[in-house]
Chain A
Amino acid sequence: MIEDRPLIYKYLRHDKKFPHVWCGGCGIGILLGSLIRAIDHLGYTKDEVVLVSGIGCSGRLPVYVDFNTLHTTHGRALTFATGVKLAKPELKVIIIMGDGDATAIGGNHFIHAARRNLDLTAIIVNNNIYGMTGGQYSPTTPYGQRATTAVYGSVEHSFNIAQLAVCAGAVFAARGTVYHVRQLDGLIEKALLKNGFSVVEVISQCHTHYGRLNKLGNQIDMMKQQRDSAVPVEKARKMSPEEMEGKFEIGILVDREAPNYLEQYNKVRQKAKNALSLQLTKEEKEESERREALDKQ
């Protein structure tokens, strides 16, 4: 990672008070590295990138990097991003959310953003728990696993975030892990290049809460578990549901084309203007007729 230091430094806000808020060994830092490499590789300027986040550990990400950054309310990052993108389509709007942020409190916004297909890139850090508030169970906490609000084990079934995005209509949905970091760089790059609503679910570890409460070991043990339970999409297609038990697919789940919201709305603008010019010509005609009649009197 030594060779990456100058790159990250190019994008950090040096006048910001460091250190950051994340625990040592948190996966969000790895994701931040991936995101920076992807942005740098694609050559976006700092001025054209808007980084929007919600609330939670992932919500603190934008403050450290030198883009236009917006730290919104819990679960609402996508709504703010929608406003920014519609008002200034030339901006590259990237949204960072957590699992609770995107699929619990922001679940409705998430499916509607996917359905609407505005050109946004949503990156969802999934660590299976609410980390910042101290380890309560989230919509992605697996059945039976423990959390501070599920001390006897969770009795709810978890969301498959990337699949949810596919079903809601996202044109690009992928899943990566912070262990498979080179793959993650590529997935984020592809998502950024995609014209339409793209989603990257990033499996990360919260050893401080999820790992501790469920006796999964330290951050290194948890990353090894990511390595062991991740199955490439192509391979997973050939596996039976029993074989996939306790495992998850990584890679691109869907990559398809669909009309982008802004392209569609530009057509609306054109129709509205045509209607307006027709109306104005009609009014002008009436006005000149009225004047002619007045002149004759």
Chain B
Amino acid sequence: MHRRKKPEPKAQLMQGNEACAEGALIAGCRFFAGYPITPASEIAEHLSYRLPQVDGTFIQMEDEIASMGAVIGGSLAGVKSMTATSGPGFSLMQENLGFACMAEVPCVVVNVMRGGPSTGLPTNPSQGDVMQARWGTHGDHPIIVLSPSSVMECFTLTVKAFNYSEKYRTPVIFLMDEVVAHMREKVVLPEPNEVTVIDRVKPSVPPEWYLPYEDTSFGVPPMGIFGEGYRYHVTGLVHDIRGFPTLRQDEIEPFLLRLFRKISIHFADIQLVESFHTEDADLVIVAYGCTFRSAHRAMVEARARGLKVGLLKLITIWPFPRRVVEPLTRAKKTLLVPEMNMGQISREVKRVNQGMTTVLTVNKIDGTMITPQEILEKIEEEKK
């Protein structure tokens, strides 16, 4: 009897940028506007090839300012949209990124971090844009920032980024780094039906009852789509619940507070982390992005030498997962934060710590990755 073998899931060698682009497609992204920049160009190249196959649209705009504008326009017209860039382009996008925060337009912005400031190190990795991702655009605003550390995560977290952006009507920044973006690893991509995809909630009331910026218990108002009968005003000015510009104190503050609240009441859903041996550890490494990979190796080596070392991987960087870091500081575990900048996340860890324990850092800004040895040396120095 012939027994047909079930076809094996296709393993493939894939680059982080390509995985990100494929993740976007499976999440339902059908519009991409971008401008070439190293080390993010592969995302645009891959999507320019793939989007027209699925009736999507790819456009190369005249600059990153225009790219971000087109992405917001696409999203307002009801299509999941994204752009991808690196440091200098990300600086240009900040203006319209603020617009997306203010008008609550879902979109995903990929920033593949390279060395800075300015033109910096186009082909070398860095993690120097962590604070820019949080505070890059002017004014108080909440934002969600995710950071992948492997090619598979470039895929899965891009889907998550779209889901968060649609669920909470907010731009989500996907903070990759040059290592993760250009690295090739073996991945097995899931079938489309195995992936959870969330779409924005649209209004169900009659158009004349629709209040586009109404407060809801969930904190996120349903989103009307241009051309679907819910005519409303979208503006970057502070607006009332009908979307019209306002200068009234009793409308300004409730609106801005809701922007924060819609994220803060959902911290448990948004703040993603992974813990490795943190329970019995007396030293915990806090790492994210490509640095996580070195930190993991360092932890394994340290454990082999009998040192009680744990590891906390931050997947969501902003809003900073305080509720996970705080118990570690309370338990008086020494924290070690390796990162490829002069201390942007370690600053947050120190803020959470408030003198309860010691926070050590390993900082490197020479355009190369932090090696496991460098982390290990710091651990051994501390354990002496």
Contacts and interface: CB of A to CB of B under 8 A. Distances in A.
B168 interface: no
Interface string B51-83: 011010101011101111111111111110100
B52 A72 contact: no
A87 B31 contact: yes
Contacts of A79: 61, 65-70, 73, 96
A68 B63 contact: no
Chain A interface secondary structure, helix, strand, loop or mixed?
A: helix
A68 B231 contact: yes
A291 B244 contact: no
B227 A91 contact: yes
A112 B75 CA distance: 21
Nearest to A15: B242
B95 interface: yes
A194 B109 CA distance: 34
Given A50-B227, A73-B69, A79-B66, A88 B96 contact: no
A269 B31 contact: no
B142 to A, nearest CB: 19
B5 interface: yes
A85 B77 CA distance: 8
Nearest to B234: A70
Contacts of A46: 231
Chain B interface secondary structure, helix, strand, loop or mixed?
A: mixed
Contacts of B236: 71-73
Nearest to B226: A68
Given A63-B235, A80-B70, A86-B57, A91 B226 contact: yes
A174 interface: no
A182 interface: no
Given A71-B235, A79-B70, A84 B63 contact: no
Given A81-B73, A112-B62, A294 B5 contact: yes
Contacts of B305: none
B73 A82 contact: yes
A258 interface: no
Interface in B140-193: none
Interface in B1-32: 2, 4-5, 7, 30-31
A295 B62 CA distance: 55
Interface residues of B, number: 49
B227 A86 contact: no
A87 B67 CA distance: 14
B361 to A, nearest CB: 37
Contacts of A67: 231
B331 interface: no
Contacts of A276: 53
B61 A87 contact: no
Nearest to A273: B53
B227 A88 contact: yes
A9 B61 CA distance: 38
A114 B20 CA distance: 32
B99 interface: yes
Interface in A65-79: 66-73, 76, 78-79
Given A15-B242, A73-B96, A87-B77, A82 B232 contact: no
A108 B99 CA distance: 20
B227 A272 contact: no
B99 A87 contact: no
A131 interface: no
Contact of A83 (B5, B53, B71, B245): B71
Contact of B78 (A66, A88, A112): A88
Nearest to B236: A73
Interface string A108-123: 1100100000000000
A84 B62 contact: no
Which of A66, A81, A269 gathers most chain B CB within 10 Å?
Answer: A269
A204 to B, nearest CB: 22
A37 B236 CA distance: 28
A262 to B, nearest CB: 9
Interface in A39-98: 46-48, 50, 52, 62-63, 66-73, 76, 78-88, 90-91
A257 interface: no
Contact of B66 (A82, A88, A273): A82
B72 A83 contact: yes
Given A15-B242, A48-B227, 7 more contacts: A50-B227, A70-B233, A76-B95, A83-B72, A86-B73, A87-B74, A269-B52
10 contacts: A71-B237, A76-B69, A81-B73, A82-B59, A84-B76, A87-B31, A273-B53, A275-B53, A287-B7, A295-B2
> Considering the complex of A and B, which 10 residue pairs feature the smallest CB-CB distances, nearest first?
A83-B73, A79-B69, A83-B70, A272-B52, A87-B77, A83-B74, A71-B235, A80-B73, A87-B79, A79-B66
